[in-house]
Amino acid sequence: MAGLACRGARGAESAGTASSSGRSSDSYIGDDARRYLRWWKGTHDLYSEATREIVRLQLCLEVT
């Protein structure tokens, strides 16, 4: 939960910086990048888990 609070604080800080520099789209791009990385990590974790399960099943098949 502390990460959410920190992320919110960073977003507020970057929004304030963006409004003073006139580049309000920067925070939107950063948000998209964070969402993509979260999605990619989740997908990668699922792929890795499935790969380990396949190897385990192949070993069991060879043993039988």
List, for residues 35-53, the tens digit of each pLDDT value. Answer: 999 999 999 999 999 999 9
On average, the pLDDT of the chain sits at 73
Q: Cβ distance 30 to 14 under 8 Å?
A: yes
- pLDDT > 60? residue 23: no
Q: Which tokens is 30 given?
A: 């950063």
Cα distance from N-terminal residue to C-terminal residue, the chain: 47
Where are the chain's structural domains?
Answer: 2-63
For residues 51 and 41, what is the distance between their CA atoms, to the nearest angstrom?
Answer: 15
